[in-house]
Amino acid sequence: MTSLKSLLALVTLSVTVLAQTCAPLPATITLRANSRLPDPFTTYGGQKVTTAADWTCRRNEISELFQRLEVGTLPPKPSSVTGTVSGNSITVNVNNGGTGISFTASIRYPTGNGPFPAIIALGGASIPIPSNVAVITYNNDDIAQQANTGSRGRGKFYTLYGQGHSASAMTAWVWGVSRLIDVLEANTGHRIDTKRLGVTGCSRNGKGAIMIGAFEPRIALTIPQESGSGGAACWRLSDDMSRRGIEVQTARQIVTENVWFSPLFNQYVNRVPDLPLDHHFLAGLVAPRGLLVIEHSGINWLGPFSTYGCMVTGRKVYQALGVPNNMGISSVGGHGHCQFPSSQNTELTAFINKFLLNNTSANTNVQRSDVNLNYNEASWVDWTVPNLA
């Protein structure tokens, strides 16, 4: 009887494992030109995504494509991650094969016993965070510098993994946030609820925020602010703006400015249509978790047409998963860069209420721009949205 039972258990296990097998990407990725925004619902190998299980595989594939083509390898959790949370400070100690680093982050707590949700802010928050939500200030530049192209390989991540590691600064920041969460999860001496974590950052740190949401599934709410090209914008849409004579940041420019992308990406910046991805896939990686994309409609360099069109397209993954209102896109101008306007308060509050404060009835149906950006979907999207819910 027992042996029959264990045999059955083994069969069930094998069937489950087999069912979850995803087709691996080949060692060499064949590039096929596509001037439109690539279909998130067709795999690299040409298979249509029709079920939730298909999407799980496709999601992994997209994550690998980003790492191999744009941002370099995100290392897994190292063998030793320890740390403390004491008073208002989190200390993270990591050891990898004999080399060690430590870094800290500070916590601003609400008053009371908690546990409280928290928003991790790259370099500090430039959105208003309500007083009942904790703020964890994360010094991402300490993990990977971002002064200019001379910052390549500099920062604690590279002390640990070597200066020549393929990871871009943004990838290194993702890794650092994951280690912060490891320490929060392993310690009890704090008042943070690790099931209710958000992430935010503005501009270059907004690019980092959307990457963190995309690659760290323990983040419940992602709020990139004015991340522009390299963040919420799609390379193809930014190139289109550039062709129309608008001074927008493009892939070919961004790699000459800073180290947000891996050196691996350099070979693709002049052949963007060949990329089997674009940044609407980043929203797809965050799905179905909360995502509010805050953009600026009046600064051409940030690519307003591009960020809006890209994120409206990314929201189609949320639609496919049956949760369109878990993602919002709001593009508003008439203010300085990273100066959050009060006209976006209601939507920001709704996302925080729903994803960090357990208010399920908050209205997070947000898709707007305060100016007409003349984004014509038919020119960019030649695929349909399946029902994966």
- Based on CB atoms, which residue is closest to ligand MCU, 249 or 297? 249
* Minimum distance from residue 302 beta carbon to ligand MCU (Å): 6
- Based on CB atoms, which residue is closest to ligand MCU, 284 or 303? 303
Cα 8 from Cα 11, distance rounded (Å): 5
- Based on CB atoms, which residue is closest to ligand MCU, 178 or 203? 203
Restricted to residues 53-92, the positions that interact with ligand MCU (CB under 6 A) are none
Catalytic: which of 203, 227, 242, 306?
203
Query: Is 302 one of the binding residues for ligand MCU (CB under 6 A)?
Result: yes
* Minimum distance from residue 339 beta carbon to ligand MCU (Å): 12
Cα 83 from Cα 178, distance rounded (Å): 13
- Based on CB atoms, which residue is closest to ligand MCU, 169 or 302? 302
Q: Return the residue matching tokens 């208003």.
A: 128
Restricted to residues 204-233, the positions that interact with ligand MCU (CB under 6 A) are 204, 228, 230
- The answer to whether the beta carbons of residues 85 and 183 sit under 8 Å apart is yes
Q: Residue 117, preceding bond cis, omega within 30 degrees?
A: no
Number of residues that bind ligand MCU (CB under 6 A): 7
* Minimum distance from residue 338 beta carbon to ligand MCU (Å): 6
Q: In the chain, helix, strand, coil percent, each to 5? A: 40, 20, 45
Restricted to residues 250-289, the positions that interact with ligand MCU (CB under 6 A) are 257
Both tokens assigned to 221: 């709410």
- Residue of 140, 222, 249, 326 interacting with ligand MCU (CB under 6 A): 249
- Residue of 140, 203, 238, 297 interacting with ligand MCU (CB under 6 A): 203
**Is 335 part of the annotated catalytic residue set?**
no
The conformation of residue 12, written as its DSSP 8-state character, comes to: H
Both tokens assigned to 43: 């795999």
Both tokens assigned to 169: 């600064």
* Minimum distance from residue 315 beta carbon to ligand MCU (Å): 21
Query: Is 296 one of the binding residues for ligand MCU (CB under 6 A)?
Result: no
Task: From 219, 175, 213, select the one nearest 76 (Cα to Cα).
Answer: 175
Task: From 276, 291, 273, select the one nearest 231 (Cα to Cα).
Answer: 291
Cα 317 from Cα 327, distance rounded (Å): 10
Q: Which residues are CB-neighbours of 340 under 8 A, at least 6 positions away?
A: 126, 127, 128, 225, 294, 348
* Minimum distance from residue 309 beta carbon to ligand MCU (Å): 17
Residue 361: φ, ψ to 5°: -90, 0
**Is 337 part of the annotated catalytic residue set?**
yes
3-state secondary structure of 365: coil
Cα 262 from Cα 79, distance rounded (Å): 24
Catalytic: which of 63, 166, 335, 337?
337
* Minimum distance from residue 22 beta carbon to ligand MCU (Å): 34
Q: Return the residue matching tokens 């993990």.
A: 143
Cα 258 from Cα 73, distance rounded (Å): 18
Query: Is 331 one of the binding residues for ligand MCU (CB under 6 A)?
Result: no
- Based on CB atoms, which residue is closest to ligand MCU, 61 or 240? 240
- The answer to whether the beta carbons of residues 366 and 329 sit under 8 Å apart is yes
- Based on CB atoms, which residue is closest to ligand MCU, 184 or 255? 255
- Based on CB atoms, which residue is closest to ligand MCU, 120 or 302? 302
3-state secondary structure of 6: helix
* Minimum distance from residue 21 beta carbon to ligand MCU (Å): 39
Both tokens assigned to 306: 């591009």
3-state secondary structure labels for all residues of 267-287: HHCCCHHHCCCCCHHHHHHHC
Restricted to residues 105-164, the positions that interact with ligand MCU (CB under 6 A) are none
- Based on CB atoms, which residue is closest to ligand MCU, 257 or 377? 257
* Minimum distance from residue 231 beta carbon to ligand MCU (Å): 7
The residues binding ligand MCU (CB under 6 A) are 203-204, 228, 230, 249, 257, 302
Catalytic residue set: 203, 337
